[in-house]
Structure formats: C-alpha cells, structure tokens
Amino acid sequence: MSSRGEVFLVGTGPGDPDLLTVKAARLIREAEVVLYDNLVTEEIMALVPATAERIYVGKKRSDHAMRQEAINELLVDLAKKGRRVLRLKAGDPFVFGRGGEEIETLGASGVRFEVVPGITAALGAASYAGIPLTHRDYAQSCVFVTGNTQDGALNVDWAAIVRPRQTVVIYMGFQNLDELCRELVAHGLAPATPAAMVQQATTSAQRVVSADLATLADRAHEAGLKPPTLIIVGEVVRLRERLEWFDANRAARAREREGRG
C-alpha cells in the first residue's frame, strides 16, 4: 500500500478500449482500487487487474448507485487511507463528467490528484459516424449541450445554439428527443435541418440514424435505438453519406470472414 494516497481521474473515452490514451491504459493496468461509472464499457473494465478492488458508483436516469457528494467523500476517504485510487469516467472527466466537482473536494481536503483526459463522446461519435463537427463549407463552430432536464424543464440557452453555420452536439438527450427537436425548430432552426443520433459510439453495438429535425425522433424510435446515445444537429450531418467509414469497414470485414469460411 502506498504511504500517501492519490486519486487519478481518468477519462476512458467513448467505449472502444483502443481509444484509451497510453497513460490511461497504464494506470488501469496498475490499479489498486477502482471507482467506475455506468458507461465505462465491459471491455475497458476487463483491463482492470483481478487483484483490484472495484466499486461501482454509476448513475442512470433516476437510479444513482451513490450520490455525487458521497462519491466525492469516498475518494477522499480512500486516499487518506493511503490507497492509490483510480476514478474511471466514460468520455472525458471535464465534459459533463462532474470531474470538476470531484477535484474541488479532493483539493479542499488536501488530497493529491491527477486528471487524465479522454476522448469525449462527441468526438468519438462524430468520427465513427463519419460526421465532421466542423467543416469550412458547413460549420465554423461547434457547441456541446446536455439534454437532461432540470426541475422538469430543459435548461438550454436556445439562442446560443441555433446560430447559423454551427454544429450542435447534445449529450444525454435520448429521453427528451421529441422535445429537443421541437424546441430547436421553435427557436429558429429549419425542420429540414440535418440531424443524427448515434448509439454506443465506437463499439460493436454502434448504430446511427440520420434524418432531419422534423423526423429524427420518429426515425430513432422506429429503429429501436437505446441509450447511451448522442445527437448531432447541423449541416455537417449531410456529409455522413459520403464520409461514413466505420459501418462500411465492419461490413467489409464480415464479408471477408464469410469468404474465408
């Protein structure tokens, strides 16, 4: 056991273990005690040593294994006991990951910590769906927002996200997809604005539905998409038809396997 405890907040990326940073992969292999979230994939958790203590602290809609305040205090308690603590978060700890809240508590408690960035879901989903988030012919800016409700209402600065030549990426918007699409149109985007929903990006379960704001909700429901998902809205979605590569490569490999069989 270490004489002095330390906490590592590590972003595990959007799901594919090959997208872990070199530092993240090393820290996972060296883990002593691991606190992990709901969206950290089984493939990544399989890299954790069998000797490591595992503590699930994941959150689902209306189902929290542990309150955020309790997680913060647990990190402090483990570190003060001399433990080397690995805090695994899907995506990046500082993009809708509450990493800032956790290190505020660690810093105030005098606990040593490090933050290891990860590929956030927006970057992974867009890349693997063949949708550039920016493109000089279509979008010169990109904004990330959360689709979670606060006190029963979407807490969104609509004026800031419906600007022209801008890509909007919505995290955690699955449950409110119908309302999100309606509000984007109500605040100025055309119903024909291209939009896509990406399910379980970068993994073997990835699925993508492309449509427009008028039809995305119906198309996603018809396709049976399920969380975790990400919504991408903007003219750049039109490029998917030409730039999609992940599904094409997956289909080609399947054909090759069938041929060898």
135 phi and psi angles, rounded to 5 deg: -160, 130
Q: Of 39, 163, 152, 133, whose CA–CA distance to 92 is shortest?
A: 39
Instruction: Give the per-residue pLDDT at 256.
Output: 87
**3-state secondary structure (DSSP) of residue 200:** coil
Asked whether residue 62 carries a pLDDT value surpassing 60, the answer given is: no
**Residue 211 and residue 167 in contact, taking contact as beta carbons nearer than 8 Å:** no
Q: Of 99, 180, 98, whose CA–CA distance to 147 is shortest?
A: 180
C-alpha to C-alpha distance for 46 and 167, rounded to whole angstroms:
35
Higher pLDDT, 61 or 200: 200
Give me the active site residues, please: 37, 59
Residue range of the domain that includes 90: 6-116
C-alpha to C-alpha distance for 86 and 75, rounded to whole angstroms:
9
**Residue 252 falls within a domain, yes or no?**
no
Per-residue pLDDT of 75-84, as tens digits, reads 999 999 999 9
**CATH number of 230's domain:** 3.30.950.10
> Which pTM was predicted?
0.92
Per-residue pLDDT of 33-52, as tens digits, reads 999 999 999 999 999 999 99
**3-state secondary structure (DSSP) of residue 63:** strand
C-alpha to C-alpha distance for 13 and 24, rounded to whole angstroms:
10
Asked whether residue 118 carries a pLDDT value surpassing 90, the answer given is: yes
* Shared domain check, 130 and 228: yes
Per-residue pLDDT of 146-161, as tens digits, reads 998 766 678 899 999 9
Q: In the chain, count H helices and then E strands.
A: 10, 14
Q: Which of these three, 116, 134, 156, is where a domain ends?
A: 116
**Residue 111 falls within a domain, yes or no?**
yes
Q: Of 185, 176, 233, 175, whose CA–CA distance to 209 is shortest?
A: 233
pLDDT band at residue 94 under the 50/70/90 scheme = very high
* Shared domain check, 110 and 51: yes
